[in-house]
């Protein structure tokens, strides 16, 4: 068992429902250790995105509680909570009227950092995601490719060095080559930064590649959390189904 | 007398009335913006208010301008001075396009951008000023442009209640059946409207960024 302080995020008996309709999440339990990558795997509508939004309090649970650093999200000042949590989503959500530099500098500026420190940080972040400052800092999002935009989104999410990073299918809209490239770079990056990551995907190969542990979500419930090894040998019905699609994919390539 | 000579002879009066006209328009626009911009943002937050506010605004728009001046005349404080009344009536006309476009512009901002902005920890105020306002500005300016043109045109009616402006020439010319006099009011007013339309349009284009 982990001691309490090793747990970065904990969902305890979480239910989320919109005005009395069928809950999107029910009795969800999940704990994420410091510095680990937990992948939430599940099909559309299984509650993955809802879970992420409960962590940064874009939503609040209708029952149970979500603890971040041991404190319920309801007790946190939402702004302070969110500034400690990087957020990257599939559509990226870069500000179209801001340059790459201003986008990445968003939270450091909101936090009132010194201009030189911001500039150094932006340079560092852009280098980290493989976009040299001189070449990219003054461009606007519409002047970038999808992969580059996603890199900027990642740089922005990491800019204030948040202890937690939430990623909602960040590579979902990319072509397979760019996606593989970004996945590879992300694993490298993660090793260096040691951030706690909750990563949402419906792609089982991505889950196996990136996750230290994989939480399987189905119909708003957490069916279990598995390490990669446990996942691969599990006899759980849903996992078998996922692994089936995975194997079918690689078999058809071998033929 | 040829028109050109008439203009030369009356240039001081034309200039004075043009400035008077401009003054009425600028005050009316200032009030309409001061009320319309926050109101438009408010509507984007509370969409239930939309029907009521835009509906009321629409009704005002349908009142013929001369009738609106007449309706406001018996008002205790407003009716006391012609320019006060004129500025109020003009501001009421300018309000609708400004409110409507502010509402449309702000509610048209990509929800993903707003969600990410909030999710990363921007305060509602920062989201408004750093994201919603700049992204809605081209649309808002479209409304300001329409409002400015309407206001400049309707302001000519102000002369009917003695508030001055270029309408003075128009009404006088109508009474004297003298085209020169009418044109001395109508042409500067038309030029003013064209200039406002052009200038705001230019500003609008310079702010419009290509979207993704």
A15 is a domain residue: no
Q: How many CB pairs under 8 A join A and B?
A: 67
DSSP letters of A52-117? HHHHTTSS--SEEEEEETTEETTTS-HHHHHHTEEEEETT----TTS-HHHHHTHHHHHTT--HHH
Per the structure, the count of domains in chain A is 1
User: The complex's ipTM?
Assistant: 0.85
Mean pLDDT to the nearest integer, A63-73: 91
B133 to chain A: nearest residue by CA? A97
**CA-to-CA distance for A48 and A109, rounded, in angstroms?**
30
Q: Determine what percent of chain A is predicted with pLDDT higher than 70.
A: 95
**CA-to-CA distance for A33 and A49, rounded, in angstroms?**
19
Q: Determine what percent of chain B is predicted with pLDDT higher than 70.
A: 98
**CA-to-CA distance for A121 and A125, rounded, in angstroms?**
6
- Given a contact cutoff of 8 angstroms between Cβ atoms, the answer to whether B78 and B68 are in contact is no
Q: Which helix (H) or strand (E) holds A196?
A: strand A196-201
User: For residue B15, what are its two tokens?
Assistant: 């200039």
Residues of B in contact with A113 (CB under 8 A): none
Contacts 24+ apart (CB under 8 A), A49-52: A49/A168, A49/A200, A50/A16, A50/A24, A50/A25, A50/A220, A51/A11, A51/A14, A51/A25, A51/A198, A51/A200, A51/A217, A52/A166, A52/A168, A52/A198, A52/A200
Does domain B3-207 match CATH 1.10.3210.10? no
Question: Which pLDDT does position A3 carry in this prediction?
Answer: 52
User: Among candidates B88, B197, B198, B204, which has minimal Cα distance to B150?
Assistant: B197
Helices (H) and strands (E) in chain B, counts: 10, 0
Q: Which helix (H) or strand (E) holds A222?
A: strand A221-227
Q: For residue A1, what is the DSSP state?
A: -
CA distance A100 to chain B (A): 14
User: Among candidates A44, A49, A45, which has minimal Cα distance to A22?
Assistant: A45
A200 is a domain residue: yes
A102 is a domain residue: yes
Residues of A in contact with B138 (CB under 8 A): none
- Give yes or no for residue B124 having a pLDDT over 90: yes
Question: Which pLDDT does position B35 carry in this prediction?
Answer: 96
Partner residue opposite A87 with nearest CB, options B113, B116, B210: B116
- pLDDT digit string, tens, across residues B167-200: 888 999 998 888 888 998 899 999 999 999 999 9
Question: Which pLDDT does position B212 carry in this prediction?
Answer: 40
- pLDDT digit string, tens, across residues A137-184: 999 999 999 889 999 999 999 999 899 999 999 888 888 888 898 899
Q: Do B121 and A58 touch (CB under 8 A)?
A: no
Q: For position A201, which CATH number holds? A: 3.40.50.300
Mutation target for A interface from B105, B112, B116, B123: give the one with most A CBs within 10 A: B116
Residue A7, φ and ψ in degrees, nearest 5:
-95, 120
> How does A218-253 read in b/e, with b if 16+ C-beta sit within 10 Å?
bebbbbbbbeeeebeebeeebbeebbeebeeeeeee
Q: Can you give the residue ranges of every domain in chain B?
A: 3-207
Q: For residue A131, what is the DSSP state?
A: -
**CA-to-CA distance for B152 and B202, rounded, in angstroms?**
18
**CA-to-CA distance for A242 and A41, rounded, in angstroms?**
10
Domain limits for position A168: 35-61+77-254
* Per-residue confidence band for A1, with pLDDT thresholds at 50, 70 and 90: very low
* Average confidence score pLDDT of chain B: 89
């Amino acid at each position: 068992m982990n001691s309490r302080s090793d747990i970065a995020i904990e969902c305890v008996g979480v239910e989320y429902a919109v005005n009395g309709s069928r809950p999107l999440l029910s009795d969800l339990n999940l704990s994420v250790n410091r510095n680990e990558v937990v992948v939430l795997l599940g099909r559309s509508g299984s509650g993955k995105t809802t879970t992420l939004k409960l962590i940064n309090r874009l939503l609040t649970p209708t029952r149970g509680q979500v603890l971040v650093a041991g404190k319920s999200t309801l007790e946190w000042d939402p702004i302070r909570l969110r500034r400690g949590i990087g957020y990257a989503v599939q559509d990226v959500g870069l500000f179209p009227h801001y340059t790459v530099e201003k986008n990445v500098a968003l939270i450091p500026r909101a936090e009132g950092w010194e201009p030189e420190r911001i500039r150094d940080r932006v340079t560092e972040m852009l280098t980290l995601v493989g976009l040299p400052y001189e070449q990219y800092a003054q461009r606007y999002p519409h002047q970038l490719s999808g992969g580059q935009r996603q890199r900027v989104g990642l740089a922005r999410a990491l800019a204030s060095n948040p202890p937690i990073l939430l990623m909602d299918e960040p590579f979902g809209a990319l072509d397979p080559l760019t996606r593989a490239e970004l996945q590879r770079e992300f694993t490298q990056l993660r090793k260096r930064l040691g951030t706690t990551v909750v990563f949402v995907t419906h792609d089982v190969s991505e889950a196996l590649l990136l996750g230290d542990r994989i939480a399987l979500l189905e119909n708003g419930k957490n069916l279990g959390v598995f390490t990669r090894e446990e996942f691969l040998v599990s006899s759980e019905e849903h996992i078998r189904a996922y692994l089936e699609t995975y194997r079918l994919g690689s078999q058809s390539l071998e033929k | 007398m040829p028109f050109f000579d008439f203009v030369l002879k009356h240039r001081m009066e034309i200039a004075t009335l043009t400035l008077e006209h401009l003054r009425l328009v600028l005050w009316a626009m200032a009030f309409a913006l001061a009320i319309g911009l926050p109101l438009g943002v408010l509507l984007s937050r509370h969409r239930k208010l939309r029907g009521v506010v835009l509906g009321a605004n629409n009704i005002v728009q349908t009142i013929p301008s001369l009738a609106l001046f007449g309706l406001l005349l018996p008002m205790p404080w407003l009716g006391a001075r012609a320019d006060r009344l004129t500025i109020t009536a003009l501001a009421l006309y300018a309000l609708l396009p400004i409110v409507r476009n502010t509402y449309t512009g702000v509610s048209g901002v990509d929800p993903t951008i707003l969600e990410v902005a909030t999710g990363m920890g921007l305060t509602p105020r920062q989201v408004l000023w750093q994201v919603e306002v700049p992204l809605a500005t081209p649309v808002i300016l479209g409304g300001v442009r329409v409002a400015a043109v309407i206001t400049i045109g309707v302001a000519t009616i102000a002369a009917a209640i003695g508030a001055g402006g270029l309408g003075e020439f128009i009404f006088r010319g109508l009474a004297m059946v003298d085209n020169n006099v009418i044109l001395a009011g109508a042409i500067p007013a038309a030029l003013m409207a064209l200039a406002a339309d052009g200038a705001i349009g230019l500003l609008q284009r310079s702010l419009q960024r290509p979207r993704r």
